[in-house]
Amino acid sequence: MVDLTEFNYELPRELIAQEALPQGREFARLLVLDRRKKDFQERRFSAIAGFFRAGDALVLNDTRVRPARAVGVKPGGGEVEILFLGPAGERTGDREEWKALIHPVRRLKAGAVLDLGDKRRARLIGKEGAEWRLEVDGPSPLKDWLRKNGLAPLPPYIKRKGREHWEEDREDYQTVFAREEGSVAAPTAGLHFTPGLLDEIRARGARVFFITLHLTHREFTRSPGPPAEGPPPEDYEIGAETAVGIAACRRDGGRIFAVGTTTVRTLEANYQEHGRINPGRGRAAIYIQPGHVFRAVDVLVTNFHLPGTSMLALTSGFGGKDLVLSAYQHAIREKFRFLSLGDAMIII
């Protein structure tokens, strides 16, 4: 297993995108990496349809991001941000337990009560690693309250104050094809696609398929360095239509375009288990890094990732470490926008 420090680079803070492009998702810049020629060129993301041929397949992750973030007021005043990860038990009466990340955690102890507003409070029960266990009380289930009042679970490198950009974030941090709610982070490479762009890809004779993998909070608790076991396992589902469509694409000589590292992990994990893409549910426990033999994916569409992360290791495994890291340096020199709301690359 590689040391993730091999994938470190200096990311200027001013290149971390803080907002979506006002002119539209498809106007992001696109860096095209050609593995055979070992070079790269710049385009606009709207040009991505031109890379598809009849018989190709585009695979997207249709997970829907939960508005899982809320602001709590500490007993002595002062605000903290709470990222609700998921229930930790059944609701009993007007109380339920949840797992959460809290920032900042300084001076917070078990027993403290955070005021969420709207007659809702959260009492800190205890902490395991970075996760807190909370007892939340309120007249309705927390998940229903979050759908109405929650904030988009933006990663910590995107700075917001309270409910600033509340409506815009809930829309901008969601793909246009999102379906089943369950993620606390967006599959950000998919954010660039619009209905019109998907229609243009279909018009070229390519088919569009979906998998579902709910993203965990790994982007919020990044620990650079040698990983002990790789990224945490994540649950996925592949429908019968997608499995059959990918098999037909392979049989007819088409290429599989995977959008995002979550889609790559899903397809490669499923293929590794079954020797082909099988429909059904599973767990993506695979750790992809340089040296991995890709069997299910031919082309990768991805955003620019944080230094020293498993996502960058996966991208380097697909595109070649030297080529990918060289492309990152080019993107920095040319002032590409990085991370979740930033620009993209396609590796062919």
**Please, what are the domains in the chain?**
4-65+170-347 (3.40.1780.10), 69-150 (2.40.10.240)
**Please, which pLDDT band fits residue 2 given cuts at 50, 70 and 90?**
confident
Altogether, the residues listed in the chain come to a count of 348
Between the two ends of the chain, the Cα-to-Cα distance in Å is 25
Instruction: Report the C-alpha gap between 138 and 115 in whole angstroms.
Output: 11
Instruction: Report the C-alpha gap between 141 and 144 in whole angstroms.
Output: 6
CB-based contacts of 166-170 (< 8 A; 24+ apart in sequence): 168/19, 168/20, 170/67
**Please, which pLDDT band fits residue 302 given cuts at 50, 70 and 90?**
very high
Instruction: Report the C-alpha gap between 4 and 14 in whole angstroms.
Output: 23
**Please, which pLDDT band fits residue 224 given cuts at 50, 70 and 90?**
very low
pLDDT at 216 (0 to 100): 82
pLDDT at 49 (0 to 100): 98
Percentage of residues in the chain with pLDDT exceeding 70? 96
- 54 class by beta-carbon count within 10 Å (0-12 exposed, 13-18 middle, 19+ buried): exposed
Radius of gyration of the chain (CA): 21
Q: 0.95 cut: is pTM over it?
A: no
Dihedral sign, CA of 236, 176, 167, 339? positive
Secondary structure class of 229 (helix, strand, coil):
coil
**Please, which pLDDT band fits residue 101 given cuts at 50, 70 and 90?**
very high
227 pLDDT more than 80: no
pLDDT at 164 (0 to 100): 75
223 pLDDT more than 50: no
For residue 107, is it left (φ>0), alpha (ψ between -120 and 50) or beta? left
The predicted model gives 204-219 an average pLDDT of 90
Q: Is the peptide bond before 156 cis (omega within 30 degrees of 0)?
A: no
The predicted model gives 18-30 an average pLDDT of 95
228 pLDDT more than 60: no
The predicted model gives 188-211 an average pLDDT of 98
The token pair at 218 is 């790994």
Q: pLDDT digits over 240-270, tens only?
A: 999 999 999 999 999 999 999 999 999 999 9
